[in-house]
Chain A
Amino acid sequence: MSRGGNRVAHLASVCITLYAFWLLLSGYFEPFLLAAGAGSALCVALLARRMAIVDPEGHPIHLALAVLAYWPWLFKEIAKAGWDVSRIILDPRLPISPVLVRFKPSQASQLGLVTHANSITLTPGTITVEASPREFLVHALTRAAGETVVGSEMDRRVSRLEGSD
């Protein structure tokens, strides 16, 4: 597909997403409201294009399928890490060993870096304090948690995710 065609397809997907959002939030399916919703979605999509605030980064529809494979894995990691942190909190000795870890993430795009940094922060026990293409600075609740973020499975999975468009 040509570049122009791609942009039209992308704008159409923004429009469809906005319309679906309207329908699901309203829950009314009368002709007038259906039409009003379609008009609003179209207006917002066109205005957003005029303001140049929609791009593949802001509406990354091309990653939708890959994300569906990544999220279940991420949820599992969040559950495991959350359980570990909960046990530390409930332990009378409070066995924490906070560390700061620096490492270089393997992602190339801004979107990939944000996904990686947010995934680290979402996982209880690790917080991304600084994120740049060259280096992530991560605060970890325990030394063990700090070791898991460097060259991690998460790093590989996010890189695969961003490469799959």
Chain B
Amino acid sequence: MNTVVDILSWGFLLAGGAFCAIGALGLVRMPDFYTRMHAAGVTDTLGAGLMLFGMMLQAGLSLVTVKLIMIGLLIFFTSPSATHALARAARARGLQPLLATGKGPSKRS
């Protein structure tokens, strides 16, 4: 039983780590400020969420799991607020987003 939980937990931790890495890669690859924020969103939600869940499996039914849930809730409420504030600030400063033209996907400039 312990082995099954361990393997599951490892799976979630590895998947979370992979999404964090993908988010970081997106941060580098995306062409402008706003599109980069979308890449960071993957790290915030899937990366952090899956890793927290993996850690909860390790902690089992204990106070540590409750604290991990609290951390999850904190991220769940603060990360979109911070993202929104950042995007709004950029727009208020007059930073224009790179937008797609025509029908096809936009080209990297």
**Residues on A facing B (Cβ under 8 Å):** 24-25, 27, 75, 78-79, 82-83, 85-86, 88-90, 93-100, 117-119, 121-131, 139, 141-143
| Other A-B pairs, 14, CB within 8 Å; known A86-B19, A96-B106, A130-B88 | A75-B49, A78-B45, A89-B22, A94-B31, A97-B106, A98-B34, A121-B41, A122-B79, A123-B41, A124-B46, A125-B38, A127-B83, A129-B34, A143-B100
Q: Is the CB of A82 within 8 A of B84?
A: no
Q: Would you give the shortest CB distance from B44 to chain A, in whole angstroms?
A: 8
Q: Is the CB of B100 within 8 A of A85?
A: no
Residues from chain B with Cβ under 8 Å of A122 in the complex: 41, 45, 76, 79-80
Q: Which listed residue (B29, B38, B45, B108) contacts A127, Cβ 8 A?
A: B38
Q: Smallest CB-CB separation from B81: which chain A residue?
A: A118
Count contacts on B: residues with CB < 8 A to the other chain.
Answer: 41
Q: Would you give the shortest CB distance from A59 to chain B, in whole angstroms?
A: 13
Q: Would you give the shortest CB distance from A159 to chain B, in whole angstroms?
A: 19
Residues from chain B with Cβ under 8 Å of A125 in the complex: 38, 41
Given A118-B80, A122-B76, A139-B87: A85 touches B26 (CB 8 Å cut-off): yes
Q: Would you give the shortest CB distance from A4 to chain B, in whole angstroms?
A: 30
User: Please, how many angstroms separate the alpha-carbon atoms of A142 and B31 in the complex?
Assistant: 13
Q: Is the CB of A96 within 8 A of B105?
A: yes
Residues from chain B with Cβ under 8 Å of A79 in the complex: 46
User: Please, how many angstroms separate the alpha-carbon atoms of A87 and B29 in the complex?
Assistant: 13
One digit per residue, 1 when the CB lies within 8 angstroms of any chain A CB and 0 when it does not, for chain B 1-24 equals 000000000000000000100110
